[in-house]
Amino acid sequence: EAQVTQNPRYLITVTGKKLTVTCSQNMNHEYMSWYRQDPGLGLRQIYYSMNVEVTDKGDVPEGYKVSRKEKRNFPLILESPSPNQTSLYFCASSLRGRIDEQYFGPGTRLTVT
Amino acid sequence: AQKITQTQPGMFVQEKEAVTLDCTYDTSDPSYGLFWYKQPSSGEMIFLIYQGSYDQQNATEGRYSLNFQKARKSANLVISASQLGDSAMYFCAMREVTNAGKSTFGDGTTLTVKP
């Protein structure tokens, strides 16, 4: 089954404790992105990748890191999480960019206390 | 810079009636794609419909159609014959050719279908 998987689905952590949210897709997609969703603010793009070893900042990259060492995986790293990073996070992938819809993972609800 | 505006935070529609969700966009790129996604209360994001900037005809997918008015920079979603299962949050989004990895979403419209 074609899908984007994210782990964990739920995470409660404390300020400053490094964490990684994994994202993997099995569709051989070139493009992958991370978004955060906050009430009333829609989805905001954190980082995106157009291929292996090619990443770029989205609209809200501060406090996040990403890497794309393999085509299928695009982990999101929070080196020192803070309470303002409490949010719902989505990973998404698409075959190409302009004309292809994005396939979304199920979301990761992160709470930083 | 690309921008998406959805001016209707919430909308109500009677079951079986049609509803239009508004979306306006701003871009300087002549080549771009516009997308609508649905997010039910369960949280997943579901792709509904796509419109390319050079497409001559408005996109349609079943009960969904996109009313694309390029000169006005609007890409409104029309849902015909609303069903209770259409109650959800709806997002308009855009991607430009010059930076195809970048994607911008609107703030969303919450649609409630009344029985």
CB contact under 8 A, A97 and B97: yes
pLDDT digits (tens, 9 = 90+) for A20-53: 999 999 999 999 999 999 988 899 999 999 999 9
| pLDDT for res A97 | 67
Q: For residue A47, which of A91, A106, A104 has the smallest C-alpha distance? A: A91
Structure tokens at B44: 């997943």
Question: What 3-state class would DSSP assign to B15?
Answer: coil
pLDDT more than 90, % of chain B: 92
Q: Which of A50, A96, A104 is facing B45, going by the closest CB pair?
A: A104
Contact B33, B91 (CB under 8 A): no
Burial class of residue B38 in the structure, from the number of CB atoms within 10 Å of its CB (0-12 exposed, 13-18 middle, 19+ buried): buried
Q: What is the pLDDT averaged over residues A88-92?
A: 98
Question: What 3-state class would DSSP assign to A49?
Answer: strand
Structure tokens at B47: 């792709």
Contact B35, A92 (CB under 8 A): no
pLDDT digits (tens, 9 = 90+) for B101-112: 899 999 999 999
Question: Mean pLDDT over all residues of chain B?
Answer: 96
B74 part of contact set with chain A, CB < 8 Å: no
A23 part of contact set with chain B, CB < 8 Å: no
- Which chain A residues are closer than 8 Å to B33 by Cβ? 98-99
The per-residue DSSP string of A48-67 comes to: EEEETTEEEE-S--TT-EE-
Q: For residue B3, which of B34, B44, B46, B47 has the smallest C-alpha distance? A: B34
CB contact under 8 A, A58 and B96: no
- CA dist., res. A102 & res. A109, Å (int): 20
Structure tokens at B3: 């921008």
Structure tokens at A27: 């569709």
- CA dist., res. A94 & res. A79, Å (int): 27
Q: Which of A45, A101, A106 is facing B35, going by the closest CB pair?
A: A101
* Residue type present at position A68: R
**Looking only at Cα atoms, what is the longest distance across chain A?**
40
A95 part of contact set with chain B, CB < 8 Å: no
Q: For residue B89, which of B25, B44, B35, B23 has the smallest C-alpha distance? A: B44
